[in-house]
Amino acid sequence: MNPTVGRFLQYLRNERNLSWRTVDLYRRDLEQWEAFMAVGGHDADLASVTAGDIRSWLIERSAHGDVPGTLRHKVQAIRALYRYLLRRGEVSTNPAAAVELAKLPKPLPKFVRESTVDTVLDAEIDENDAVQVRDRLIVMLFYETGIRLSELIGLQDAAVDTAKGELRVRGKRDKDRIIPFGTELGTAIDHYRSLRPSLSPLCGNLLVTPRGKPLYPSLVYHVVHDSMAQAGASGKLSPHVLRHTFASVMLNNGAELNSVKELLGHESLAATQVYTHVTLRELQHNYELAHPRALKKGG
């Protein structure tokens, strides 16, 4: 190993206080890079390395099967090394700064099928049990309004008007928005309110614990996860997945993209457009299931 690289790794451990595991990741990337550079005669002269040299190495690593996330980390390791050398005055430029980081694929949002949520909402519960009624209402609110976990937890009782079919939530950056809802959800809210006095609500929130305190994230997560799992769903089953499901259902049923953006409280349309890919994937799946010639091969 180049002595300069060795000093850099010691700097990461002793002065930056990075973990041994993190430093070892840097070490492996830089040793691999040094081995590649040695073939070109650069092993003893870090100042002569160019952005083209680094790109050539990345092309080789990609050919060996390194994924974009791995390639990004390799570039970041070299950038960090050269930032260290620049501060010490050992080089005049950082060749890795001109190398574009590999783009990571953006996973599509996860969602559950409408039939699964219907199973949860249509399941038999004790309609006189305030906690059971509350838990079903939690699922309904996520699925029928698309609100965030933090918004549901902070939803004030006074901000929910079942006569108008509207609720007001405070979203990111303290921005309020009005979300309409249907008769079924309004009826469920009124029913929960009729039972809630037995829970002694003390905080002004719509949804409370049996002691009248605000809900907390892990409780809501377990309510959603357990409800979905009992209905036969698998994979990631979180409040955010129900928010994704709301958006997908809205678009699948003809809602305009801008309307869904406003309902979700997104700052930009780009954040909402990802759901169009989910919608197209679902449409393709339904087409392949339904059309008699969809899976036929040939012309």
Active centre residues (catalytic) = 148, 172, 240, 243, 266, 275
Buried b (16+ CB within 10 A) or exposed e, 9-30: bebbbeeeebeeeebeebbebb
CB 79 within 8 A of CB 96: yes
Which amino acid is present at 219? L
Both tokens of 225, joined, read 């996860």
Show Cβ contacts of residue 26 under 8 Å, excluding neighbours closer than 6 positions.
9, 12, 77, 80
Show Cβ contacts of residue 164 under 8 Å, excluding neighbours closer than 6 positions.
none
Integer Cα distance of 44 and 38 in angstroms:
8
Show Cβ contacts of residue 79 under 8 Å, excluding neighbours closer than 6 positions.
94, 96, 97
The sheet carrying 166-170 orders its strands as 160-161, 166-170, 176-180
Spatial CA neighbour of 139 closest among 221, 205, 255, 71: 221
**H-run or E-run covering 166:** strand 166-170
Integer Cα distance of 112 and 116 in angstroms:
7
